Structure 1
Amino acid sequence: MARARVRYGARTEAEIAAARTASSRLPAIWSTGVVAVWESDPDAVAAVLPPPLKPTGRPLVRVTISRVDLHRYPLGAGSFAVAAAHDGVEGWYPLVMPMTHERALIGGREVFGEPKKLGEVTVERHGTAVRASLARHGVAFVEVRGEVSGEEPPPPEPVRRTDFYFKFLPAVDGSGFDADPLLVHCLRDETVRRLERITGEVVLRESPYDPVADLPVRELVGITLGEKTSDQRGRVAERVDARTLLPYVHQRYDDPSQIVDGPPEPSTGPEGSV
């Protein structure tokens, strides 16, 4: 009698090749999402950038809150990022990327070093009213709300965006890293098929684990609601000095010691809104 296959056993080379081929032929995956961009405090933006990342000429913050149309597995995906530059390339450095599925979280963290965490992601539209939020530990630490005020022409060609990530593994003994961290340039070519303007506001709420309220809205650049798809590929730009990166690693994990950090002094309207 033939023995049943042990599914955790080694796959054959043909099976590995077939899985790789299937992944490369996935259809375009479209998402519907809100993007808000604002100018923040330049010192605060500079303070969150690990070397060798540097500030750009404008202290911008960008939050993306999306609902992704995955068959049988609708996904909520978010990103809170600041403008950054490295080696002549300007892009975005995400501080936190909440995801509603472990599948999306694990792959991005292990392959690219994305700072993904499990969280709640909401994108709602009722008529012209739009509300989107990122929440973790019971706190909606980012909320974007407003009304659709007009249509924007989508870009005629795909738009290329660069995100910066640090890929690393914490050391087995809990001190430092197992190897030198890598700075990754992740390139995305985004195709937009619909884009609408939103007249509204961004609300940042205090959270000890996701302290984005330290990057307040000084001047709102704009809010849009769009439908887009994108590809993603990365490259290692350089190895990073572990000692310079280590103080920033708390951005990646929920460090219990963060709860002793005091909230920022209030300097904006209610709940940090504009």
Structure 2
Amino acid sequence: MARVRYGARTEAEIAASREKSSKLPDIWSTGVVAVWESDPDVVAAVLPPPLKPAERPLVRANISKVDLPGYPLGAGSVAVAARHGGVEGWYPLVMPMTHERALTGGREVFGEPKKLGEVTVEREGLVVRAALARHGIAFVEVRGAVDRPLPLPEPVLKTDFYFKFLPAVDGSGFESDPVLVHCTRNEKVRKLEHITGDVVLRESMYDPVADLPVRRVVEITIGEKTTDQKGRAVERVSAQALLPYVHQRYDDPMQILDGPPEGSV
């Protein structure tokens, strides 16, 4: 019988796949990072417990083109500064990706709030424009001009916070208690430049980052970097406490309440 590709893989095939994925080369991206101060009460309002606001009400937009083998990837995120116990990090609200392949692992393994979208990073001479768009709306746009090179930072360990959960089959809550994930990334930078510019937030019912107003731009940079990624489930969290925030993950805020179709078995 010819090989059936949907059939079970052998232990040797599974082991070979794991070994190959564990030895990926450095993958470099070119990206724009904009950080701004917003309103403290707004930043606090988007953080599910047990996350707490950081000392400063910062918001970060990261907009990158990634040099993946075989095809380029557009990847972005909008996150707010947060802390969990003694760990400082970022809580992403939305992570647009340009390919389905980039969504699967992040959502299913780490609980990342990834969605298909459009990611733009353009540079002509010193002029830079970067944007995140979904449903035809560029809900974040960063515009400016490079004015000076910056010294390369030392490699640094950064932390993002995610909630991993599975909605219940009957549309009511979760199948089991959600878990809070600490995702750590070792970041290395090989080029970094400062941008003088501005951040434009546009209204979108699907990605309402316009609710996080730009009160003061802290920094805008463009650079080339590479990171690795490791995740760890640190604790189970209250399903009741997380449920009011689940709509952050979906375009339809009521999707978590959907039941099975009528007449289904």
TM score, norm. by length of structure 2: 0.95
Cα deviation digits, residues 198-250 of structure 1 (max 9, x gap): 00000000000100000000011000000000000011110000000001011
Q: Secondary structure at the match of 1:106?
A: helix
| Aligned equivalents of 1:6, 1:56: Cα separation in 2 | 52
Deviation at residue 72 of structure 1 after TM alignment: 2.2
Correspondence for 1:113:
111
1:65-76 correspondence to structure 2 within 5 Å: 65-76=63-74
The farther-off stretch of 135-144 and 66-75 is 66-75
Q: Which runs of 5+ in 1 are unaligned?
A: 259-274
Taking only the aligned residue pairs, the percentage that are identical comes to 79
2 CA distance for matches of 1:241 and 1:196? 42
Q: Distance between the aligned counterparts of 1:195 and 1:135, measured in 2? A: 25
CA distance in 1, matches of 2:230, 2:120: 27
Aligned to 2:167: 170
Letter in 2 for 1:53: L
Cα deviations by residue, 1:28-51 (Å, 9 ceiling, x for unpaired) = 100000000010000000000000
- The gaps in structure 2 that reach 5 residues or longer are 256-265
Q: Which amino acid aligns with 2:91?
A: Y
SS at match of 1:176: coil
Whole-Å Cα distance in 2 between the matches of residues 107 and 256 of structure 1?
23
Residue identity opposite 1:18 in structure 2:
A
- Picking from 85, 97, 100, the partner of 2:95 is 97
Q: Matches of residues 153-164 of structure 1 in structure 2 within 5 Å?
A: 153-155=151-153, 157-164=154-161
Runs of 4+ aligned structure 1 residues displaced above 4 Å come to none
Aligned to 1:6: 4
**Does the 8 A contact of 2:206 with 2:251 survive in 1?**
yes
Give the counterpart letter for 2:93 in structure 1.
L
Work out the CA distance in 2 between the residues paired with 1:256 and 1:39.
Answer: 27
The question of whether the paired residues in 1 share the 8 Å contact of 2:247 and 2:254 is answered with no
Amino acid at match of 1:171: A
Report the alpha carbon displacement of residue 256 of structure 1 after superposing the two structures with TM.
Answer: 5.5
| Cα separation, 1, equivalents of 2:186 and 2:253 | 37
Give 3-state SS (helix, strand or coil) of 1:5's partner. Answer: coil
Aligned length: 255
Matched residue of 2:221: which SS?
strand
Query: Which amino acid is the alignment partner of residue 51 of structure 2?
Result: L
The alpha-carbon deviation at position 122 of structure 1 amounts to 0.3
2:76 equivalent to 1:78: yes
What TM-score, normalized by structure 1, do the two folds share? 0.92
CA RMSD of aligned residues (A): 1.0
Q: In structure 2, what is the equivalent of residue 232 of structure 1? A: 229
- Decide whether aligned partners of structure 1 residues 222 and 122 sit closer, same or farther in structure 2, where only a CA change above 3 A counts: same
Secondary structure of the 1:63 match is strand
**1:172-220 deviation line (CA, Å, top 9, x unaligned):** 0111000000000000000000000000000000000100000000011
2:262: which partner in 1? none
Question: Deviation at 1:71?
Answer: 2.1
